[in-house]
Amino acid sequence: MTAASLETQAAVEPGPASVTASDAGARDPWERWGWVMGAIWLVFLGFPLREVAQVAAPGPVKAAAATAIVVFAAVYVAGLWGMDRRSGPADVHRFSTRVLVLLLLIAVVPAWVIGVEALGLMAFVVSFAMFGLSLRAAAAVSALALLVTALTPVVAGSAEEHWFFTVIVGLVLVSTAMVRVLEERGAEHRAMARHVDLVSERERVARDVHDVLGHSLTVITVKSELAQRLVEDDPARAKAELDDIRRLTRTALAEIRATVAGLRVARLDEELTAASVALHGAGLAADLPEDPEVADPRHRILLAWVLREAVTNVVRHSGARHCVIHLGSTSLVVTDDGAGLGDASEGNGLRGIRERVAAAGGRLVVGPGDLVEGARGVGTRVEVTL
């Protein structure tokens, strides 16, 4: 992982930017093997090696220059490989600075032997600096290298013969800078995409937990109050209500575990049964559809979630005596004769099902109901159309 991607990761994601052993196998192949692409360009070191072979110098001097070029190549590759194994931006910068100083010191030997022809090594210095240092430091090193490459032939009086070194180093600078910027933007995009996925997953879990617990706790509360009233007058029925409460708590616990694991799926037939239990347990007269199969199979899960939240609100907030549930192929209507919405703001439950319906391209309308004559209040009507 280069300094660029590590800097972006550290800026966007919380916690350390290091790659642990557990997730090393999941790393981007480019991060693991990108150094190989940098090593391919070492073939161009054949030109200074050719110059060493042709220069008029003693054998030991030529051998020292050739050895220096080979060591230069080895240090360059080792630096690229080691850069990807650093644990953070600061560590990468320190490591790359040491390697860069070592490369420059090694380059002095072939420069002393072949002179201006050693300027080809500057391209590798610029490339390594651009990927290993901070952007500001890399720009400074690259500008200095470009200046040295442009002025050295002029001072040596061979500008017409060696002008192409300036062009080569300039092209390397431009291309590596473009790759650096694109890598930073790509790393930033990936980090933001992971952040968005994390936020979406958190919202899903929060919405599902609210839907599961809100309904289950409402029914448990209603049944516990009923059992408390019946415990002296009708112990047998009170015991039955307590058995239902125990069953509901176990079901709620299983649903919460499934929700956290991302496995929770609401079933329309089960929600209709649960709605009947909740409404009758709260003392409401309820008209429910007999056949859940009338709903389009594509929409049953979503309609089940909406039904759960709507019935929970009827039991918890409406104060109604009567509730009617109408189920169509692509619609669901839950109407009660309770106190109505009044000035109450939309809660998390309605907001959650509104998000679910909108994500499916449907429409949710919540307004006053017109259920029965003589209703105590204006009532509430929740209608979903898909």
pLDDT tens across 301-343, in order? 889 888 988 898 888 888 888 999 999 999 999 999 888 877 7
Q: Of 197, 217, 246, which closes a domain?
A: 197
Residue 72 near residue 106, CB atoms below 8 Å:
yes
Residue 359 near residue 332, CB atoms below 8 Å:
no
Q: In angstroms, rounded to a whole number, what is the distance separating the alpha carbons of residues 8 and 184?
A: 6
Query: Do 161 and 20 belong together in one domain?
Result: yes
Residue type, 5: S
Q: Where are the beta strands (DSSP E) in 32-175?
A: none
Q: Does residue 267 lie within any of the structural domains?
A: no
Q: Does residue 253 lie within any of the structural domains?
A: no
Q: Of 176, 197, 218, which closes a domain?
A: 197
Tokens matching residue 376: 């105590």
Q: Does residue 288 lie within any of the structural domains?
A: yes
pTM: 0.48
Give yes or no for residue 291 having a pLDDT over 80: yes
State residue 334's pLDDT score: 92
Q: In angstroms, rounded to a whole number, what is the distance separating the alpha carbons of residues 33 and 81?
A: 8
Q: Does residue 220 lie within any of the structural domains?
A: no
> Which CATH number goes with the domain that contains 374?
3.30.565.10
Query: Do 52 and 169 belong together in one domain?
Result: yes
Q: Of 179, 197, 215, which closes a domain?
A: 197
Contacts of residue 220, Cβ cutoff 8 Å, sequence gap at least 6: 245, 248, 249, 252
Query: Do 294 and 191 belong together in one domain?
Result: no
Which CA distances in Å does 239 have to 220, 224, 276?
14, 10, 20
Q: Does residue 104 lie within any of the structural domains?
A: yes
Residue 356 near residue 332, CB atoms below 8 Å:
no
Task: Give the model's confidence band at 25: pLDDT under 50 very low, under 70 low, under 90 confident, else very high.
Answer: very low
| Mean of pLDDT values over 234-241 | 82
| Mean of pLDDT values over 254-282 | 75
Number of domains, the chain = 2
Q: Where are the beta strands (DSSP E) in 58-130?
A: none
Which CA distances in Å does 367 have to 79, 104, 343, 378, 384?
67, 76, 12, 10, 12
Lowest mean pLDDT among 109-113, 206-210, 224-228, 240-244: 206-210
Q: In 10 A of CB 164, how many CB atoms?
A: 11
Among residues 270, 240, 241, the alpha carbon closest in space to that of 255 is found at 270
Query: Do 27 and 160 belong together in one domain?
Result: yes
Give yes or no for residue 15 having a pLDDT over 80: no
Query: Regarding beta strands 380-385 and 331-336, do their DSSP bridges make them parallel or antiparallel, or are they unpaired?
Result: antiparallel
Q: Measured over all CA atoms, what is the biggest interatomic distance in the chain, rounded to whole angstroms?
A: 116
Q: Does residue 300 lie within any of the structural domains?
A: yes
Tokens matching residue 270: 């089960």
Task: Give the model's confidence band at 22: pLDDT under 50 very low, under 70 low, under 90 confident, else very high.
Answer: very low
Q: Does residue 336 lie within any of the structural domains?
A: yes
Q: Does residue 258 lie within any of the structural domains?
A: no
Q: What is the residue range of 352's domain?
A: 283-386
